[in-house]
Amino acid sequence: MTQGYYLEDLEIGMSASFSKTVTDADIVMFAGVSGDTNPVHISEEFAEQTMFKGRIAHGILSAGFISAAFGTKLPGPGCIYLSQNLRFKAPVKVGDTVTARVTIREMDVERRRVTFDTVCTVRERVVVDGDALLMVASRAEASQAAE
């Protein structure tokens, strides 16, 4: 898919989700890419002494699954991420399957802005919630660009 939904295809209440099981490799690679080597993420010995009683994934790794839902599902390829508010509610551990769900809350058609409610869950437990603002192309804009 080279283009996701156009603005005209969207409606308040539409939603999509993306799920991923977090692996040890995901956490180690994220630490390497981001530079966040906080031992609560990479050292079992250290993390066992914390309130989490073991290693936890980076919160931003889970939030990245929200980006995956936007970029691959709704609105899909071509959307532009403008802002994201996040609240981290609970830890994610190796082996947890995180499901990111994005739901359209508001649309500003004139400005091509769409506001989404965003939430990540592990089973029924909310681990991250918030909202995001995206810019979505209109059909008219796409046809002008093609000319």
Residue 136 pLDDT more than 80? yes
135 φ, ψ to 5°? -105, 135
Cβ–Cβ < 8 Å for 94, 31:
no
For the entire predicted model, the pTM comes to: 0.91
pLDDT tens digit string along 25-68?
Answer: 999 999 999 999 999 999 999 999 999 999 999 999 999 999 99
pLDDT value at residue 46: 97
pLDDT value at residue 139: 85
- Structure token digits, residue 105: 């809350």
Q: Where are the domains of the chain?
A: 7-22+59-146
Distance CA 77, CA 93 (A): 29
Mean pLDDT of the chain: 94
- DSSP-derived letter for residue 34 is H
Superfamily of domain 7-22+59-146: Hotdog Thioesterase (3.10.129.10)
pLDDT band at 3 (very low <50, low <70, confident <90, very high): confident
The CA-based dihedral angle spanning residues 66, 112, 78, 87, taken in that order and rounded to the nearest 10 degrees? -10
